[in-house]
Structure 1
Amino acid sequence: MLRLHGLASVLTLLLVAGPALAADTSSDTPAAATPDLASIRTQIKAEDYKAAIAALQPLADSGSKDPDVYNLLGYSLRKSGDRKTAQTFYEKALAIDPTHKGTLEYQGELFIENGDLPKAQQNLAALVKLCPGGCEEREDLEKALAHAAKPK
């Protein structure tokens, strides 16, 4: 009986704690295919996009099957000013996982930066379907679209 209670406590803790997913994380990616991107995320958070690109490029060149690699590379390139190449990597991420919320958000932001609000709205529509109750990616893209639609 005590063993069962302990197991139930552990399972409850796991369900409550759950994994914290960043905007670039796909929960559908098999763990074996997921490289450790923690140090790269730290570089991105510090806005050291050059270092992040240098770390991500070999992973992309090796044919990674992790959409986060391509999403983070696209994000870093976009933030560095290379929008055209960023789009290529967002497309690769979505080819692996068409429902990758982080990529849909970041690609939508790229569309906004390029003045293509209809495409950004398509990405938002996909996020609305994926997150009917709301999610960070959807909210961020909604805010970016609202800001872009304001008269200047």
Structure 2
Amino acid sequence: MKTVLLVLALSLAAPLYAADTPTITAPTVSERMATAREAIARKGWSRAQYDLKLVLRDEPGNADAHNLLAYTFRKQDKPDLAQAFEHYKTALKLNPQHKGAHEYIGEAYLMDRQPELAEQHLASLEKICGNRQCEEYQDLAKALAAYRKANP
């Protein structure tokens, strides 16, 4: 009988303890994206990659996360263009109208000395934007012009 009372008392006490225990929740995808963007602004490529990989674990179809992850691979001290191209292409497969991915993959192609492929993405941006005035078009056009000037 004492054993039954002890088990009953412990089972009733457990929920009281649990109520006082703080609940730790994992950051949301939006919070991880914000943290990654902050890390990118500080050029904290490793931290951004960490958060973006977690975003992609939870949302593998997130084109923005693929685009930003590719950007971090391209911008780190020793660029990993293979990883960058893989994630840019995934972003564009998920969202063929993704202006940022078109701009950034174009810049990656310039780093890889493939200006003709950068031009294709510049043409895509002109169609997507409906003109040559959007920021992504203008940025890639400037990068392409600088590349041509340096590599006549």
Question: TM-score, with normalisation over the residues of structure 2?
Answer: 0.74
Question: Counterpart of 1:138?
Answer: 137
Contact 2:66/2:88 (<8 A) preserved: yes
Residue type matched to 2:136 in 1?
A: E
State how many pairs are aligned: 119
Q: Distance in 1 between matches of 2:72 and 2:89?
A: 15
Residue type matched to 2:96 in 1?
A: P
Q: Distance in 1 between matches of 2:119 and 2:94?
A: 21
Structure 1 residue ranges without an equivalent (≥5): 1-33
Flag the structure with larger Rg. 2
Question: Counterpart of 1:23?
Answer: none
Deviations 1:80-99 (A, max 9, x none): 21111110000110111011
Deviation at 1:151, TM superposition (A): 3.8
Please identify which structure carries the higher helix content.
Answer: 2
Aligned ranges 1:68-147 → 2 under 5 Å: 68-80=64-76, 81-133=79-131, 134-147=133-146
Q: State the 4+ residue runs in structure 1 displaced beyond 4 angstroms.
A: none
Question: TM-score, with normalisation over the residues of structure 1?
Answer: 0.74
Percent of paired sites with the same residue: 36
Deviation at 1:142, TM superposition (A): 0.4
User: 1:35–1:62: structure 2 CA closer, same or farther, 3 Å change rule?
Assistant: closer
Residue type matched to 1:55 in 2?
A: D
Q: Distance in 1 between matches of 2:36 and 2:126?
A: 29
Q: Distance in 1 between matches of 2:53 and 2:84?
A: 12
**Matched position secondary structure for 1:98:** coil
Structure 2 residue ranges without an equivalent (≥5): 1-27
Residue type matched to 1:77 in 2?
A: F
Aligned ranges 1:13-92 → 2 under 5 Å: 35-36=29-30, 37-80=33-76, 81-92=79-90
Deviation at 1:62, TM superposition (A): 3.6
Q: Distance in 2 between matches of 1:112 and 1:105?
A: 11
